[in-house]
Each structure stands twice: as structure tokens, then as C-alpha cells.
Amino acid sequence: MQDLPEIFGVAFSGGKDSTALLVALVALKEQIPGRLVALTVDEGISGYREDTIHHAKKVCRKLGVEHQIISFTELYGKNLDQLMEEPTHKACTICGILRRRALEVLAERMNIRLIVTGHNQDDHAQTTLMNALSADIKKVFAGTGRGGRFARRIKPFAEVSEREVSLYAIIAGLFKDLPECPYAGEALRGEVRHLLNGFEQVYPGSMRNAARVEEKIREKLKNTVSAPPLVTCRNCGWPGSDEICQVCKLLGPDWAMNKP
């Protein structure tokens, strides 16, 4: 019990997966030796994020969970909509990189060493196929053994289907059919999701098998391949796999001069 954290951070977007996760953790709070804190990243997507942020606040009030929010504007000086006025990458690439950093910064501010995320089995299956399409074996080992300033992450729903997670949120009375991100249509993940759902209908079990394959690859290659060692970004001072981190590559060298 001494190794368990005093604070459990819950990555909480306000969507069905993170809502179901928060409900489940609150139901188990007597078995969790620490307080729960919901961590929300506001990317600043007009016509979309306002509704999900509002729902996130409402859920946290109902469940009696502390809620902390960090925004792209606060951290980077611009929201995602502004960054997409002169895009250097697709929106989901930019958002993914900046959202991960924002969550890490918020966790560090709160002295949180463990973050619980709502990634489900379908998410893992999609990521597996996307990593295969990119042919980058480093992505298979991304996030393993990071340590240092990074909070450890766990995914309780990793073997639970998206349909089951949605059903749990509905039964809990906190499911809300929220609008889809306006940038989602250009993402590879949407096409991969459609493809895998089709396979699942014709070949039941495909989603589960795809979700598990990367774990099997890591197990087979754990003695020959590992995640690259962390180095300190020479621009912003944040740890990463390169001397210039992904955030600085996206935003350029000047953003770190004014970062909080």
C-alpha cells in the first residue's frame, strides 16, 4: 500500500468513456486509498468543446469530484482553432501532441503521479492498426517505462468494448450524446474505426485480437527492443525522445520563452 499514490488523476474529457470511468472509480472510492481529481484539457474548439466542458463540470459536481481544467490558450498562447488557421499538420496530430503535454503539465502541478484514462478495447485496436500502417515500431513501445517527470498511466477499460462502456454510462444515467469534434472527419482513426467495425461484424473477435496484438509484440521483443531513453528538450526543458520535443517542433522555438 505504501507505493500507491495519494492522488489519482482521471483524464476526463467529458465524453462517454471518461464519464463511465469516473463513475466506476467513484463507485469504488472506498477501495481507492487516495482522492480522485478529474483532469480536463480544453483545446478551445468552437462549437464543440463548450458542450463537452459543460458536461464535464456537471458530472463532476454530481459525483462530488474535484475538477481541474487546463487550456491550450493558457499553456500555448493559442487554442486549436487558432493553430489551424495556418496549419503545419493535421488537426488531430497537433491536438494529440499538445493535449498529452497539457495533461502532463496539469498532473505535475497537482503532484499527481498516476493518471487513469478511459481508453477502451476499440481504441487499442484502432491504435494497433494505425501503428501498423505507419510502419514505425517505436510507436509500439511508446509510453512504456517513461518514468521521471511523467505520471504513470493505467487503462482499466483496456479489455472492455466501446459498446459495453457506453452501456455502463447509460445505466449510470450520465450518458450524453455530445457533438463530434469538427476535425474528426480528417483523421485516419475514423477510417480505421469504420474498417475494424466492419471486420468485427463479419469476423467476431477481430477487435479483441487487434487490441491484444501489440501486447504480444512487446512481450516477444522486450529483450531486443525498448523505448528510446528520455532526453531533455534543449528548447523548453521538457523530457522527450529527441533533443527537440514534439511540442517545440510544432510550435517553434519561441513559444517556450513565454510558457507558464
Q: Taking a C-beta distance cutoff of 8 angstroms, is the pair 16, 165 a contact?
A: yes
* Residues 12-52 pLDDT 10s: 999 889 999 999 999 988 787 788 999 999 999 998 899 89
Q: Taking a C-beta distance cutoff of 8 angstroms, is the pair 52, 14 a contact?
A: yes
Chain centre to alpha carbon of residue 170: 22
Residues of the chain with pLDDT under 50: 1-2
First to last CA, the chain: 35
pTM of the model: 0.88
Backbone angles phi, psi at 231, to 5 degrees: -125, 160
Rounded CA gap, 193 and 249, in Å?
28
Please count the helices (runs of H) and the strands (runs of E) in the chain: 10, 7
pLDDT of 1 reads 42
Tell me the three cell numbers of residue 196: 475494424
